[in-house]
A and B are shown apart, each in its own frame.
Chain A
Amino acid sequence: MLLFVLSAGLSITFGLMRIINMAHTSFYLLGGYVGIAVWTQTRSFWLAVVVGAVGMAVAGLVLYSGFLRRFSKEDELPQVLLTFGVLLILADVALIAWGGDVKRLPPPDFLQGGIELGPLTYPRYRFFLIVSGLVMAVLLWLFVSRTRLGSLVRAGVDDAETAQSIGINMPLLFVLVFGFGSLLAGLAGVLGAPYLGVYPGLDFETMLLAFAVIIVGGAGSIEGAFIAALVVAAVDTFTKTYLPGLGYFSVYAPMALILAFRPNGLLGRSL
């Protein structure tokens, strides 16, 4: 679920703007750190969530308006390389600022402890993550398929040029979408902090998972990202539990298979 929130943001920026934002998971990592910093100051979990998410939206806007906008959309390689440079810089900055230890964000009181589900006891916070992930999935789906802004976004995904020519302000839309994608990354970062912790290298680790989701699910498709996130996370967890030697490897096997048969992903449109 967490992976879904993270990769949904990536999927819409990639699908709409053809920008592969390698620094996307840097925002995820930084969102977690910022959330923890806010929590230490204020002891408010919800404020941490808001500040982490909004902070990353701002960071995304700066990255986009400051650098990425200079390149035309056909030039995807410079964008990848540039955001990759940003990824390296932010990873090292985070290491300087917050050190190498795992940091955790304590969940709010009412989400601590377990929840009884028949014979099973399930940690409340994870339950909360699943529920909020589902809610977010539904909201995103409604947003994309039912609102005016959502239909503009879809128009942009399908054919940016035509959308522009019928009077949609694409540059503005791009800025908004990029900011929104970064917001989702920051949100996922803070929400994930109580569960996974925040530590150096998390950005690289999740980056590969997130890109696996995009590739499996198909760029620009919320439903695809949702299904793929479930598949990738399930496969990943399953092999890490039962075949620990193959843990990292397992993520790439479905990815390779999908690519071999459906180069555009399960629900993706051709790029």
Chain B
Amino acid sequence: MMGRLQVGRAGLRTGFLARGGWALPLGLAALAVGILLPFFVQPFFVDIMTRVLVFAILAIGLNLLVGYTGLPSLGQAAFLAMGAYTLAILIKRLGVGHLPAALAAIAAAGLLGAVFGLIALRARGATFLLITLALAQSAWAIAFTWRSVTGGDDGIGGLTRPVIGFLPWSMEDARVYYFLVLIVFLVLLWAFRILVRSPFGLALQGIRDNELRMRSLGYNTWLYQYVAFIVAALFGGVAGVLRAYLTEAVTPGWAEVTPSAEALLMVIMGGPGTIVGPVIGAAIVVPAGQIANFFTNRWMIVLGAIYVVVVLFAPGGIVGWLRRGPAEKRA
């Protein structure tokens, strides 16, 4: 994954990225790495790559809010947890089949988004951020305290990945599961690209830039923001289902502040309002978290420090930084 950033930097001098000349070859190179790399590394690393994709899905959804609609949410992990818990409860406690359970889990995350959105969209800007944080905390509190349903701090374990009858491979194989997630990821990324370039997506960006003007042009800006909030929650639900199958267990830690902060950092760091930004962010933040936890157990410090550095020095994220021509860089 680092390779593509190096290449990106070479193109920076001439500002090629601004014209999109590098976007296609870079994307293809990244895709090639994404397809080929799992065959050369241990299953443990394949699982990390799967994790990257799962969080990338969460971050892409969040980016619709942060980058395209201008609504900074710090509670996105609640939707991931909602999807994961719904899936685990339906399968383990109620014996529902995999496919209906997964669809219900995604719908449940969307429903949670519909409820949270009603409350959070009373505010804008930093207050909006605080409210999403508070709402996510209450979701965490429910997961943590409602023992009989959620298993309390033990969470729910013993989930197994579905068996797809006509396929010759077992989902329990790290690589097979990785490719399933990769396909879902690519489909969602593609759908996201269509979404943000659609009239709906353009209206969102208009709202981000000037809500008042959009309203006076006759747009029901609240409804647009509300729908964006729910769509972001649905992305979170998908990420939750995929993550639950990846670890084959759910714990209340998934709804904590830290994963929400990680997701927001992926967006801010990669480049808010860009399609690939959150993916790059996820490809950096997830492995960094693994490394920091593996060696030092001091992930919070590292995460906090990355936040400070990104905010101070790269407000537009990596993609924004690459896109700017050399002359603007000083500013």
Contacts and interface: CB of A to CB of B under 8 A. Distances in A.
Nearest to B257: A204
Contact of A208 (B126, B137, B301): B137
Interface in A208-222: 208, 211-212, 215
A259 B307 contact: no
Contact of A20 (B130, B137, B145): B130
Contacts of A81: 264, 268, 307, 310-311
A62 to B, nearest CB: 13
Central interface residue in B74, B258, B268, B308, by most chain A CB within 10 Å: B308
Contacts of B133: 208, 211
Interface string B120-158: 001101110111011101101110111000000000000
B149 to A, nearest CB: 11
B303 interface: yes
Given A78-B315, A259-B119, A252 B308 contact: no
Nearest to A211: B130
Contacts of B145: 244-245, 247-248
Contact of A252 (B134, B144, B298): B134
Interface footprint category on A: 35 or more
Interface in B278-331: 298, 300-301, 303-308, 310-312, 315
Given A208-B137, A260-B119, A215 B131 contact: yes
B314 to A, nearest CB: 11
11 contacts: A20-B126, A84-B304, A89-B308, A92-B301, A215-B127, A245-B145, A247-B145, A248-B137, A248-B144, A249-B138, A252-B138
Interface of B: 72, 74, 119, 122-123, 125-127, 129-131, 133-135, 137-138, 140-142, 144-146, 257-258, 261, 264, 268, 298, 300-301, 303-308, 310-312, 315
Given A82-B307, A84-B307, 10 more contacts: A77-B129, A89-B304, A89-B305, A89-B308, A91-B300, A93-B301, A248-B137, A249-B138, A249-B142, A259-B131
Interface of A: 20, 67, 70, 76-82, 84-93, 95-96, 204, 208, 211-212, 215, 244-245, 247-249, 251-252, 255-256, 259-260, 263, 271
